[in-house]
Amino acid sequence: MSLTSVRFLFFIVAVFFVYFVTPKRYQYLTLLAGSYVFYYWLSAGVMVFLLITTATVFFGALALERCNARMRSQPGDATPDPAARAARKKSLSAQKKWILTAVLLVNFGILALLKYGELINATLRLVWPVSTGDPLSFRALALPLGISFYTFQSVGYLIDVYRGKYAAERNPAKFALFVSFFPQIIQGPIARYDSLAQQLFEPHTFDFQRAKDGILLIGWGFIKKLIVADRLAALVTTVFAQPADYGGSILFVAAFTYGLQVYCDFSAGMDIAGGVAEVMGIRIAKNFQQPYYANAIADFWRRWHITLGTWMRDYLFYPLSLSRPFGRLAKAVRTRWGMRWSKIIASGIISFIVFTVVGIWHGAEVKYILYGFWNGTLIMLAILLEPLFARALTALHIRQDSRAWRAFRIVRTLVLLSIGRSIVCSLSASTALAAIGKMVFAFAPADLFGGTLGTLGMNGFDYAVVAAVLAVVFWIDHLHEQGKPVRASLARAPLVWRWALYFVMIFALLMLTPAGGTLSGNFIYAQF
């Protein structure tokens, strides 16, 4: 049941009706039942893994909360022996670490075995040759949809309880709803407990204006997915299925097109999820902030898949920065070259590690690791070379706040992003490197004007439709970049204009959705 299927539309209408007629104190149970029905419909055979994550994190968090409570309490005498108090605190800290480690191993172990099982299997075959069969086999198990998203969301909650940020949830049904909330379980966003949980559990009444806003957002998501993303997929698939047949310019266009495809595809999923939640009075986390206005790779990743970036920052980047090995490294560099280089080198290396992990998160293939290396290397180089760039700009009398310089940086970022996207599009790491080689050393711009673009799965009508809708997409992004919310402005528009827009959206969906892909497409990030 895709988020753009007719079945999903009937499903959410049923959920909305039952949710709002349910007594308010039990609404969260209705939402939990709907979420489990939705996930069972999608992944019936592997729903057990969602239940394992829910149970282990729930009971692990309760155990951590008990340790936190004991650490805050004073046993016996009001002025206990300092040595005994320190020993007690050390013992409880050790218990907390063991509990956290055990739950993390279970959940990341499940994620690793299911998502990276075949890679592990291939590695084992290299060191453990067998005449028949495989050392391990994971082909029979389907990958649970959204496993990375609900695992990261649950683990983030567990770590926050470990750190004492908030108390553990004691109601198993409420915690199960936090893990499985159906609009976002497939492809995020990765929510934080303190921002989402209370919204899920508090009562909501039906609000007509809120419902209109949510339905408008759902419809806009449908348009971006069905009219733009699914059309662009034809071009990307045609080129990267046989990249050796095309020159560097066509490969670059296909990689750039993939960036547009994945943006419309992923942001459409976020719009649909956000719209469904908004109808019920729930606001999910923002996952995009006009990423194609980014003026550097690091800036792009602050704007793209925001919840994954902040998760990596809070639970990987900061802990690594505060770890002993990096503390020793920073101290050694500071002693030799000074404070500035200490910060630059340490943060550059940690950024490289984080983006390598992000690459691995995307998939169990070498190309995804290469993709992480690409982004990590660019960010590390930007950190290392920043002082040199600043001196060069001063020497050339280039104002960093000028429009021309900002436009140059945006274009430069898009070029680097497109080269990196070609890695993800390619069938393997080797074909990706070959494609990048063509883009850099054999660009062949004449191919763009020889009629090749019309043979890549899209005709003139398709290009015109995509260009028209993308113009609206980036116009809306421009308004949001200027701090002008579009839906709020639309709500103040005359009634006739609003209804004209609604009819145009419905007409566009009915008439411009590509044949063969009508209301059935899967989302790219659902596979992650």
CA-based nearest residue to 415, from 438, 449, 435, 440: 440
Quick one: pLDDT at residue 87? 80
Q: What angle do CA 142, 146, 150 make, to 5 degrees?
A: 125
Neighbouring residues of 103: CB distance < 8 A, sequence distance ≥ 6: 56, 57, 60, 158
Lowest mean pLDDT among 157-161, 185-189, 386-390: 386-390
Quick one: pLDDT at residue 131? 45
Burial class (CB in 10 A: 0-12, 13-18, 19+), 277: buried
Quick one: pLDDT at residue 223? 94
Q: What is the mean pLDDT of residues 253-257?
A: 94
Does residue 192 contact residue 161 with C-beta atoms inside 8 Å?
Answer: no
Quick one: pLDDT at residue 121? 66
Quick one: pLDDT at residue 76? 55
Write out pLDDT tens, residues 14-23. Answer: 999 999 999 9
Cα torsion at 423, 424, 425, 430 (round to 10°)? Answer: 40
Quick one: pLDDT at residue 494? 87
Quick one: pLDDT at residue 79? 55
The residue count for the chain = 528
Cross-strand partners of 288: 304
Tokens of 491: 């709500």
What does the mean pLDDT of the chain come to? 87
Quick one: pLDDT at residue 290? 94
Is pLDDT above 80 for 527?
no
Quick one: pLDDT at residue 124? 62
Is pLDDT above 80 for 132?
no
In sign, the C-alpha dihedral spanning 389, 395, 400, 404 is negative
Is pLDDT above 90 for 207?
yes
Does residue 307 contact residue 189 with C-beta atoms inside 8 Å?
Answer: yes
Q: What is the mean pLDDT of residues 219-227?
A: 94
Tokens of 508: 């566009």
Write out pLDDT tens, residues 399-437. Answer: 888 888 899 999 999 999 999 999 999 888 889 999 999
φ/ψ of residue 289, rounded to 5: -140, 75
Q: What is the mean pLDDT of residues 242-253?
A: 91
Name the percent of the chain lying above pLDDT 70.
92
In which residue are the tokens 């191919």 written?
Answer: 447
Burial class (CB in 10 A: 0-12, 13-18, 19+), 220: buried
* Between 335 and 109, residue with greater pLDDT: 109
Tokens of 427: 């069938």
Residue 2 CB neighbours (<10 A)? 18
DSSP conformation class of 246: S
Confidence of residue 518 (pLDDT cuts 50, 70, 90): very low
Write out pLDDT tens, residues 480-504. Answer: 999 888 888 888 888 888 889 889 9
Confidence of residue 329 (pLDDT cuts 50, 70, 90): confident
Cross-strand partners of 359: none
Write out pLDDT tens, residues 429-447. Answer: 889 999 999 998 888 888 8
Write out pLDDT tens, residues 49-99. Answer: 999 999 999 999 999 999 988 887 766 555 567 777 778 788 888 899 999
φ/ψ of residue 188, rounded to 5: 85, -170
Q: What is the mean pLDDT of residues 249-265?
A: 94
Name the percent of the chain lying above pLDDT 90.
52
Confidence of residue 126 (pLDDT cuts 50, 70, 90): low
Is pLDDT above 80 for 252?
yes
Quick one: pLDDT at residue 519? 42
Write out pLDDT tens, residues 288-313. Answer: 999 999 999 999 999 999 999 999 99
Write out pLDDT tens, residues 343-387. Answer: 778 888 888 888 888 888 887 788 888 998 898 889 888 888 887
Is pLDDT above 90 for 265?
yes
